[in-house]
């Protein structure tokens, strides 16, 4: 109580609004907030080497009182000598445009494409063949952004189209069908044909084909391999034409350049329509066949624009915007 009395006396001299109801900690905080060092509060006795009255303990107490005083006075300013924020040494990093992060050859070819211009389809395909920076025979791709919601069942676009000049890729076709259709499938160009022996390959996860064709009656037997075939996009599907009673016809279509396309989660359809070596005329015919097929898939529930943007590009080349 003597300590509290001394603190009250000191607070009275400083004309602080305190009463006997205030605790010792509150009195000390108020005196400290008034700018009086805590050392001017009741005199401390000699500092002990250890214990509650050691130099370290007294220092911690002073810091605590100072913190409480700042809290009482709503002082949120940084302490003297404290930096507001540590800044990283060296120059600030500069984010370069995407084009500048490409190779020199890409940058030179990208100059041939006007960013804001919308090209006609034939003109865009001709320009794409000129702006391919690849040393190999690159694929020519078409990317179409649709005004659909893929989460809706009727707007989840998925179909197939036979390209007049094929894709330029060697397609390996496997057939899972009854033994009486094996000969016809081989004549049609199937690379792998089988029944029980084909399932044994799937058990070992030997996937040596790009397209799998199956008959409707054999589809239930593929159910247990859905985890193997599904993630690779190899599971036969009636919409893609890979589930058919006439396996020979399905094999011929696959070998001739029949491709499957579908919309992704961002409402974009991506597909390759050939190789740079095809030339602008063959590429134009393939692109026209794909876009015509895509138009036929327009859902009846779509009232606004169906096709928003079309972009043509090669495997490693710049994108070229096409007039819708």
pLDDT-wise least confident of 77-81, 209-213, 292-296, 319-323: 77-81
Does 98 have pLDDT greater than 80?
Answer: no
117 vs 313: CA distance, rounded Å: 15
Virtual torsion, Cα 292, 298, 300, 305, nearest 10 deg: -100
Q: Where are the beta strands (DSSP E) in the chain?
A: 139-146, 158-162, 173-176, 192-194, 211-214, 258-262, 268-275, 307-314, 320-322
The predicted model gives 56-82 an average pLDDT of 74
The rounded mean pLDDT for the chain is 83
Identify the pLDDT of residue 35.
62
Identify the pLDDT of residue 44.
46
Does 113 have pLDDT greater than 50?
Answer: yes
Identify the pLDDT of residue 268.
94
Identify the pLDDT of residue 42.
47
Domains contained in the chain, CATH given: 2-72 (no CATH), 103-167+258-324 (3.30.190.20), 172-256 (3.40.50.790)
Does 208 have pLDDT greater than 60?
Answer: yes
In DSSP terms, 159 is beta-bridged to 261
Q: Do the Cβ atoms of 30 and 72 come closer than 8 Å?
A: yes
Identify the pLDDT of residue 36.
57
Identify the pLDDT of residue 26.
77
Q: How many residues are there in the chain?
A: 324
The more confidently predicted of residues 72 and 145 is 145
Confidence category of residue 50, pLDDT binned at 50, 70, 90: low
Virtual torsion, Cα 208, 241, 277, 311, nearest 10 deg: -120
Whole-prediction pTM value?
0.61
């Amino acid at each position: 109580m003597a300590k509290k009395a001394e603190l009250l006396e000191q607070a009275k001299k400083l004309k602080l609004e305190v009463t006997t109801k205030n605790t010792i900690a509150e009195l000390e905080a108020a005196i400290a907030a008034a700018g009086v060092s805590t050392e001017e509060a009741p005199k401390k006795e000699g500092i002990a080497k250890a214990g509650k009255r050691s130099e370290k303990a007294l220092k911690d107490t002073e810091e605590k009182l100072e913190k409480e005083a700042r809290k009482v006075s709503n002082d949120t300013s940084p302490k003297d000598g404290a930096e507001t924020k540590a800044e990283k040494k060296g120059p600030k990093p500069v984010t370069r445009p995407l084009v500048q992060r490409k190779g020199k050859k890409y940058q030179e070819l990208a100059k041939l494409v006007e960013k804001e211009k919308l090209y006609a389809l034939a003109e865009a395909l001709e320009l794409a063949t000129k702006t391919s920076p690849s040393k190999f025979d690159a694929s020519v791709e078409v990317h179409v952004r649709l005004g659909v919601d893929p989460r809706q069942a009727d707007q989840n676009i998925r179909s197939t189209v036979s390209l007049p000049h094929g894709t330029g890729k060697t397609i390996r076709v496997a057939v899972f069908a009854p033994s009486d259709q094996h000969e016809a499938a081989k004549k049609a160009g199937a690379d792998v044909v089988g029944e029980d022996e084909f399932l044994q390959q799937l058990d070992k996860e030997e996937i040596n084909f790009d397209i799998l064709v199956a008959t409707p009656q054999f589809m239930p037997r593929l159910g247990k391999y859905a985890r193997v075939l599904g993630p690779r996009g190899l599971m036969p599907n009636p919409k893609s034409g890979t589930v058919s009673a006439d396996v020979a016809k399905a094999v011929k279509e696959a070998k001739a350049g029949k491709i499957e396309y579908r919309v992704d989660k961002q409402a974009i359809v991506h597909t390759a329509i050939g190789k740079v070596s095809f030339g602008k005329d063959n590429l134009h015919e393939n692109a026209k066949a794909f876009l015509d097929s895509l138009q036929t898939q327009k859902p009846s529930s779509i009232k606004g624009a169906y096709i928003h943007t079309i972009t043509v590009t090669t495997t490693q080349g710049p994108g070229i915007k096409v007039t819708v």
